[in-house]
Structure 1
Amino acid sequence: MSTWLDRPLSFAGRVIINQDNNLISKVINIKEPVFIIPNVCIHFNRQINNGYAYNIANDMQPLVSQDKQFDYINDKISHALNIEKKDIINYDLFLYNFEKGYLWGENNEFISSPRLDDLECAFIESESLIDIDNDKNINVGVFFDNEEVGSSSLQGANSDFLVNTLKRINNALNFSEEDFLCAISKSFMISSDNAHAVHPSNSSLTDPDNKVYMNKGIVIKFNASQSYTSDGLTSAYMQKLCIDSNIPYQFFTNRADIRGGSTLGNISLGQLSLRSVDIGLGQLAMHSSFETAGSEDIVYLYEVLKTFYTK
C-alpha cells in the first residue's frame, strides 16, 4: 500500500446516467491529478522506517479538498460528460496513479510505469494480434478483469465468458458441438502475465537455479502446485516458438519456501480444458503503483506472439 502514498492520483471508471429516461453507461477518465494520499510526517511517526502496518481505514484516505461541502466527484463527472448532476445515477470509479511512464537507464533499457502488471502483456498481445494476417485459423485474444480480487466476477476469468464466446463463434460458423470440442482439443493457449525478475538488492528471494532477468527474453513459468499451467509438453512448444522467432527465453519457479502468485491461465482452464503455457516478462516491484520492466522484452514478446498467431 505504501507505494500509493504521496503520488498524484486520478480516477476513471464507469458512470450510469439517466438519458431520456433510460439508464446509459458512460466510460470516464479524469486525465489530471486530483487526489493525494498523504503520508504522516516522520516527526509524528518516527518508527516508520523500522516497519509500519498501514491501517486501510485511516491511512489510505485520499485528499481532494478541505471543503467538506464540496461535491467534487459529481461536479467533475458532470463537467467531463457534459451532463447535469441530477442525471448521475451511480458509478464504478477507481483511483489510479497519474504518473506517466518513461524509459530510463544507460541505454533506455528499462521502462517504468504504473500498471505494467499486466497491461504490458495485454498491450503486446493486442498489437501482435492486430498486426498478423492469418485466414487459416481463428485467433483469439481475451483480456479479463478483476484478477486481483478473485476473478469470480461477470467479467473475470472464473466466469463462463470465454467458453460462451467461443461457442457463439462456433455456432455462427454453423459448426456442430462435436466440431467445437474437437477444435478446443487442438487449440493452444498462451497465458501471458509478468514474472518476477531478480531484485538487485535481494537476489536471495529468487530460486538459485531459475533466475529471471529483465531484457533476457520470454519467461516460461512453472509451479509444482499447478498455479501455472506450463508442463513439459506445452513449455517445449513455447521454447520452439522462441527458437523459431530467434528470441531468447528463460525459466521461472518460486523458491520452494516462498509462496508465489497465480495467473488467469489455470483459472480459465477450470472453464475450458485445453493445452496451455504460462509465460511473462521479467519485472521488478510487481503490484507497486509504479513498476519497472525491460524495454527490450516488449519486442521479444511481440515477435513470439506474431509467430504463434501466424502458425
Structure 2
Amino acid sequence: MNSISYQNDTAELIGHLRAGVSPFHTIRYSAGILEAQGFEELKLDSPWSIQAGKSYYVNIFDTSLAAFSVGKDTVSDGGVPGLRVAASHTDWPCLMVKPSPELTCGPYAKLNVSVYGGPILNTWLDRTLSLAGKVCVRGTDPFHPEVLLVDFARPLLTVPNLAIHFNRDVNKGVELNPQKDMQPILAVLDETLNKDTFFLDLLAKETGRNKEDILDYEFYIYNCDEPCFLGINDEMLSSPRLDNLTSVHACLSGIMNSRRKNGINAAVLYDNEEIGSSTKQGAASPLLERIMEKVYLSLGYGRSDFLNALFGGFLLSLDVAHALHPNQAEKYDPKDRICLNEGVALKLAVSQAYATDASYVSVIEDICRRNSIPYRKFSNRSDIRGGSTLGSISSCLLTMPTVDAGVPILAMHSSRELMGIKDQWALAELTRRFLG
C-alpha cells in the first residue's frame, strides 16, 4: 500500500461525510456518484429489463439504495450466476425534530426533539448544529405529494450546557433527560418571529413554499463540524458520521470497481440500523431478497435458480468496529482487539451478534492476505455485551453466508468520531477485491 492509495480513499470518504448530513442526502449523493459511473436508475415499482454487462441502481424510499452489476458473460456461460453482496447503513445516532416542535421559555425559541438511536448525548452539547431532511408539500393529488430535500447547511442550533456553578458535581457525571435536557435553541424571539409557528415559517422561507401547503417533514439535526486530520503526521481523521459513512463509501467503491465477468455483484445501503432495522427500508425487511429476485427473474431465471443463488451467495456486512481506547484498555479483550491504522476489523461473536463463522471468515482472510490488506480479528470482552450489526439480521432472512467487518474507530456514537486514515483504504480495497 502506498500513500496515494489511502489518500484517494480518504478524500472520497470526506466527500461522503460532508454530503451525508441525513440519510436522504447520503442516498442522493450516492446516486449521483453511481450515475456518473454509468449506472442506470430503475424504479422499485416498475418492470425491469436488465442486460448482462450493465450496472443499475434503485432508490428505495429515499433513504436506502441497492446497486448491482451483471457480468457480461453471466447469461451466456449458462448455470445460475453467483451472487456477492456488500451492505452497510446510511443512518447514525442523532436528534430528530418532532411533529409539533415549537417550544418557548421566556424569549428563547426551542425545538422539541426525539433521540434517534443510541447517541452519547453529552457530545451533542455546545456544538454548532444544523438541520437536514425533507419537506412534503401538496402535489397534484393526495397520493403524490411533492418531496423537497432541504439542507440548511449553516449553524442554526445549539444545546447549551448548564454552567458548573449550578451543578458543582457535573464532572462526576450527569444523566441527561432526552425530553428535558436535549432541546436545542433555535432563536431568541423578537417581533419578526411567531412563537407558535417559527419553525414552520422557517421551512416555508427555506423552500419558497406557502406554509399552508406544507403537509409534513422529517428533519435530522446534525453536527456542522468539518472533517479534519489529527496527529503529528495527519494520521487520524476526526469527523461526524464515520459510523457508518465509512462503510457506505466502501460499498460504493466496491460496486463501481467490480470487474467480475460472470456473476452478479450488489451493494446495499440500508436505513434504520441504529433503531433495529425493522422497517420497510431496513435490513430486517425482505427488501434485498425481493430486489435480487426481481433481478434474477428479469434475466430469465426461475425462483428455484434464485434460491440457489441465495444459498450459494456471500454477504459482506460492513459497519464500524471498536478501536482500542488508550485510556480504557481494560474494557477490551486482552488479545482480540484492534487499534487505529491496523486495517480492517473482522468481527466475531459466539452470540452471532456479528454474523461470522470460521469457513467464511477464512474467505475474507485469504482475500486480505493475497492482496496485502491489513486486518485483525476483533471480539468483545466476554463480560461486556457489544453492539450488533445488520449482518446477523440480513443473513437470517437471506440464509446467506455472511461476514461482519469494518474500520476501527474511537468515540463510536459520539457526535464526532475518530479513525485512522489508512483504514479506509483497507476496507474499500477489501470490498473491491471481494466483489471482484
Matched, 1:17 2:143: no
Instruction: Quote the Cα distance in structure 2 between the aligned partners of 1:301 and 1:7.
Output: 30
- Is 2:360 aligned against 1:234? yes
Q: Alignment partner of 2:268: what SS?
A: coil
* Corresponding residue for residue 15 of structure 2: none
Contact 2:318 2:406 in 1 (8 A): yes
Q: Which string of whole-angstrom CA distances, capped at 9 and with x for unpartnered residues, describes residues 50-101 of structure 1? A: 1111111211001001227254432332233232222211011111111111
CA distance in 2, matches of 1:240, 1:201: 33
* Counterpart code for 2:168: R
Q: How does 1:1-311 map to 2 (within 5 A)?
A: 1-21=121-141, 22-67=144-189, 69-70=194-195, 71-310=197-436
**TM-aligned CA deviation for residue 42 of structure 1:** 0.6
1:186 Cα offset (Å): 1.8
CA displacement, residues 230-286 of structure 1 (integer Å, 9 cap, x when unaligned): 110011001011012111110100000111000000011222111110111111000
Measure, in 2, the Cα distance between the counterparts of 1:45 and 1:145: 39
Is the partner of 2:404 in helix, strand or coil?
strand
Greater percentage in strand: 2
In the alignment, residue 238 of structure 1 is paired with which amino acid?
Answer: I
The percent identity for this pair of structures is: 36
Tell me the distance in 1 between the aligned counterparts of 2:205 and 2:398: 44
Deviation at 1:160, TM superposition (A): 1.1
Note if contact 2:258-2:265 (Cα within 8 Å) is conserved in structure 1: no
Return 5+ residue gaps in structure 1 as ranges. Answer: none
Return the alpha-carbon distance in structure 2 between the equivalents of residues 158 and 211 of structure 1: 29
* Aligned residue identity for 1:12: A
* Bigger mean CA offset, 74-83 vs 223-232: 74-83
Q: Is the Cα contact below 8 Å between 2:137 and 2:147 reproduced in 1?
A: yes
Contact 2:131 2:219 in 1 (8 A): yes
User: Given the two structures, how large is their TM-score scaled by the length of structure 2?
Assistant: 0.69
Secondary structure in structure 2 of the residue aligned to 1:286: coil
Q: Is the 8 A contact 2:315 2:395 kept in 1?
A: no
Q: Which moved more, 1:80-89 or 1:53-62?
A: 80-89
Q: Distance in 2 between matches of 1:135 and 1:2?
A: 50
Give the residue type in structure 2 aligned to 1:5.
L
Query: Within 1, Cα distance between the matches of 2:287 and 2:401?
Result: 19
Worse overlay, 2-11 or 15-24: 15-24
Give distance in 1, aligned partners of 2:274 and 2:399: 23
Deviations 1:138-172 (A, max 9, x none): 11111111111111111111111111111111111
Q: CA deviation at 1:13?
A: 1.4
Quote the offset at 1:14 in angstroms.
1.9
Secondary structure of 1:261's counterpart equals coil
Query: 2 CA distance for matches of 1:247 and 1:281?
Result: 12
Per the alignment, in what secondary structure is the counterpart of residue 143 of structure 1?
A: strand
Amino acid at match of 1:290: R
- Report the TM-score when normalising by structure 1: 0.96
Aligned to 2:291, the other structure's residue is in SS state helix
Letter in 2 for 1:114: P
Determine if contact 2:132/2:221 at 8 Å carries over to the other structure. yes
> In structure 2, what is the Cα distance between the partners aligned to 1:3 and 1:34?
17
Instruction: Give the counterpart letter for 2:331 in structure 1.
Output: L
Gaps of 5+ in 2: 1-120
Distance 2:151 2:257 in 1: 28
